[in-house]
Amino acid sequence: MTKSTEIKSALKALNIKTENAGTSTGSKWTSSNQKISSFSPVDGAEIASVSTTTVKEFEAVVNTASTAFNAWRLVPAPQRGEIVRQFGDRLRLLKNPLGTLVSYEMGKSFQEGLGEVQEMIDICDFAVGLSRQLHGLTMHSERPGHRMYEQYHPLGIVGIISAFNFPVAVWAWNSALAWICGDVCIWKPSEKTPLCGLACQKIAADVFAENGLPEGISCLVNGDYKVGESMTKNTSIPLISATGSTRMGKIVAETVARRLGKSLLELGGNNAIIVSPHADIKMTVIGAVFGAVGTAGQRCTSTRRLIIHESIYEKVKSALIDAYGQLRIGNPLDETNHVGPLIDSDAVTNYLKALEKVVSEGGRIIVEGGVLEGDDYKSGCYVKPAIAEAENSFKIVQHETFAPVLYLLKYSGGLENAIAIQNSVAQGLSSAIMTNNLREAELFLSQAGSDCGIANVNIGTSGAEIGGAFGGEKDTGGGRESGSDAWKIYMRRQTNTINYTTDLPLAQGIKFDL
C-alpha cells in the first residue's frame, strides 16, 4: 500500500467531507466562501481546503452552545461520563486512521501520531472515573445548628484554542474534562491542521447524536487569529484554554482578563536536562535525543538545553554525536524513520536563523544542521537535527526555537550551579535531571530545585502521563490540564451554609437584635 493510498483510506475511514465543512455545532455543518488550505509538510501536497468561520456563523455557534449548556448541565455527571466513555471507545476503533491523519497533516512520526490518539483515549478513561468524583468539602461552622460545605458547578462554554504540534490530544484533554464537568466546548484548531479538527468533531458529533443529545455540546470553528479574537472577547465564554506561544498567550490573557474571564494557558518551554557526574550515560543519551528530535523538536516539552557537568562533558558529547549519526530523517509514515519534517517553511526559516544566531554569539556547531533536498524531501520542510555548544546567556539559548536544535551547556561545581542555569530562563515548563545520586535527585525536586511545572528524575523532559496535571510556570502561563485536580478550572466553586435551627446567629458573634 502506497503512502497516498494510506491517506485516502484514513480520510475515508474518518468520513471527512470538506466540501461543506468548516463550522459545526455537532451534526450540523456550515461553510463560507473563505477557505484555508491544509498542506502536508510530508510531501508539500494540498490535502484539502476548509472554510473559515464568519462572524455571523460564530455568533450562531455561541447561541447554540449556550442553549445546549442549559440541557447538558442537568445531565447527571456519571451519565455525562458514559457519553465520554463511548467517545473513547470510538477513538479506539479509529485510532489507526486518525493517527495516520495526524502524522500526515502535522508531520510527526506515525508512532507519535498513534501515541497522540492514545492520549485522547487515556483522558477519556480518566474523565469517566472522574465523573463520579467531582467532590467538594464539608467544613465545621462556627455557628451552632449550621452546616457548611462547598460544591462545584459547571462554568458554561469553554473556548479551546489549540496548536498544530498536538492537533488532537490537547483538545481532548480539555473537552473530555469539560464535558464531564457539565460544560460545552467551542474549539478553534490550528489553521495549519484543520482536517484533524474536522475528524475529531465528526467523531464526537456522531456519539452525541447517537445518544439523542442536542447540538452545541461540541462545536468547531475554523480560521486564523481573528476567530481566536472573537472567542477571547466574547463574554458568553467564561473560560478560554489556549495553547501556543508565549506572545499569543499574553494577548489572550490580557483580553480575557479585561472582561474578568478565566484563562488556562499552556505556552512555551525552554526545557533542560541536567546531566550530573552520577548519570547513567546510556539513559541520558536516549532521553536527550528523543526529547530534542521527537516531533522534529516541535513539542512544548522538547529538550532545548543539556546542562552537563564538566567532568563527563566530553563523554556525553561524544555519545550524542554518535547517536545523531544514526538518526533517519524522512516520511513520518515510514516507521523506520525517526524524524519527520517541520510544519512549514516559516519553521524552517526560524530553524536556520537559530543556527546562524548561535554561531554569531560565539557558539560552535558540533552536529551540522541544514535543509535536506531531493525527491524524498520535496516539501522543503525536512531539516537535520543539530547540536551546538553554547552559553546559557546567549540570547538565542534564552529563546524557544521550535525546531530540533539542542544546546550543550557546561557546568562546574555542585548541583546548585546547574539548577541556577536551568532556572535562569523565562519559561518554566519541563525539566529533568539524570543522576543515580539520591541526594541530588531530592535537591532537584525540592523548594531549592527546579522552578518548572514538571520535574523528572532519570527520564527526559518530553512526554507526560494523563494522571498528572500538565503545565508550567513563568512565561509558560501557569495553566494545568489533564490529570490530578485540573478539572477544577472547568467549574465554579460555591460555598453553601445551611441553618437547620429556628434561630439566626450571625458569624463572628455579631449581635443584631430587633
- Which of the residues are catalytic? 266, 300
129 near 487, Cβ under 8 Å? no
- Nearest alpha-carbon partner for 197 in 101, 64, 81, 86: 101
Provide the residue type at 19 as one letter: E
How far apart CA 356 and CA 370 sit, in angstroms, is 11
Counting Cα atoms < 13 Å in the Cβ hemisphere of 117 gives 28
What are the CB-based long-range contacts (under 8 Å, 24+) for 448-453? 448/416, 448/419, 449/419, 450/419, 450/422, 450/423, 451/423, 452/271, 452/428, 452/476, 453/428, 453/429, 453/480
- Nearest alpha-carbon partner for 274 in 305, 318, 317: 305
Helix axis angle for 3-14 and 95-106, nearest 10°, is 120
Give the C-alpha distances (Å, rounded to integers) separating 381 from 79, 330, 374. Answer: 46, 10, 11
* DSSP symbols for 53-102: PPHHHHHHHHHHHHHHHHHHTTS-HHHHHHHHHHHHHHHHHTHHHHHHHH
Provide the residue type at 87 as one letter: F
How far apart CA 232 and CA 235 sit, in angstroms, is 8
- Nearest alpha-carbon partner for 235 in 154, 156, 182: 156
